[in-house]
Structure 1
Amino acid sequence: MNRGNYPESPLDRPQSGQHKYEDDLSVIRSMMERSSRFISLSGLSGVAAGLIALLGGGYALYLVHREGRGYLSHTAMAYTTGFFTQLFVLAIVILVLAVAAATYFTVRKSKKAKLQIWTTTTRQLLSSLLVPLFIGGVACLALLFHGQTQLMAPATLIFYGLALMSASKYTFQEVYYLGLLESILGLISCFLVGYGLIFWIIGFGLLHITYGILMQRKYR
């Protein structure tokens, strides 16, 4: 039958056109994902941060025992101001090293993937992360001011977990679950006062390492 000048029906178009249309949609979805989420986080960042926390936590336990207290035995002892100063300096060193490691591996992954690092999404991610951390830092200072040092480790876990959950909407979903586990550990630690450092090591050390390994295997 002669179709004359009638327009071609969509059903008569080559199947390859449909495949091209689906490929285009896939590319568009990928571009939207890249623009709305920070995908340069490296699993190695988590591993490095976890190892640094493990070493720092181990050194903190050494300082406790050096003061004459068996940490898990709950031997009653009043700590000196100098001892808490050492712990504070140690915490700052751990924080600086962990941030430096995370920055290094994130920048390296971004360069390898040829992705721009400083974007609107990056600013939103940092804002969502830093606001809860700042509030948590002030709360920890208040605990220190009132002498409630036994609650500082649980507080850092809780607020850090909340910060991760807040920031997770701008990056990988796994970050949300890491934050949830961190906060749960902190809440449990609130009821086991005296074991805060152990929970801190588990949360910032072991959980970070586990998360980092899983992320590296999944998104490498």
Structure 2
Amino acid sequence: MESKDYLKDISDIKDMMNKSSRFISLSGLSGILAGVYALIGASIAYWLVTTYSNGILTLDGWVFKTCLFTLFMVAVLSIVTGIILTTIKAKKHDAKIWDTTSRRLVFNFLIPLIAGGLYILIILSQGKYGQSGGLMLIFYGLALVNASKYSIGDIRYLGYVQIILGLIGAWEPGYGFWLWVLGFGIMHIIYGTWMYLKYDRK
């Protein structure tokens, strides 16, 4: 009987240590919605390019600027949705939404993301946009892997998939758009559903 109590105490201590060192309130539903936003944004961009640019995207046209704005709105909606749903989940479990662990998570996530975003803007300004889709996936994947140390470790698998898709996109730039759709759209929905069933329904 006593040995069972000791084992339970050890398990409780490990659980407490894990909660204190990792931010575990990320919402799987936010991942699903981020994927939906990405698919909607990609559909708008595809329609604009095929309808008004004959399938060719040029940097100095209004279509490119509209596509860029659409991409920006997808990112904003995904971030806002993630914050709202994660806050709701944290309150439900009496967890802090903004503490040392969550600050480390955000900081480690943003380093590769900001560096990658600036690099992509630089090559776009130079008229080199063929590999931008692949580069977005690579830097986003690196950001996920980097942040996984301070969150649910499962997000690193999504990061690995994004990096692989990004490398394929860099090797075959002609498929960059569809790989972007697969990575940011479909994979987010699959990952978000998995996380929702694994963690959120408990």
TM-score w.r.t. length of structure 2: 0.94
Quote the residue 2:26 is aligned against.
41
Quote the residue 2:164 is aligned against.
184
Matched, 1:145 2:125: yes
Distance 2:63 2:103 in 1: 37
How far did 1:174 drift? 1.3
How far did 1:195 drift? 2.2
Matched, 1:107 2:87: yes
How far did 1:78 drift? 4.8
Quote the residue 1:3 is aligned against.
none
Cα-to-partner distance string for 1:143-196 (whole Å, 9 max, x where unaligned): 111100111111111000000000011111211110010011011011222221
Matched, 1:60 2:45: yes
Quote the residue 2:138 is aligned against.
158
Contact 2:26 2:86 in 1 (8 A): yes
Percent identity at matched positions? 41
Contact 1:158 1:184 in 2 (8 A): yes
**Correspondent of 1:206 among 170, 186, 197:** 186
Distance 1:106 1:77 in 2: 36
Tell me how many residue pairs correspond in the alignment.
200
Q: Which runs of 5+ in 1 are unaligned?
A: 1-15, 71-75
Quote the residue 2:198 is aligned against.
218
Larger radius of gyration: 1
TM-score w.r.t. length of structure 1: 0.87
Quote the residue 1:116 is aligned against.
96
Q: Which runs of 5+ in 2 are unaligned?
A: none
Q: Aligned-pair RMSD on alpha carbons?
A: 1.3
SS class of match (1:195): helix
Matched, 1:21 2:10: no
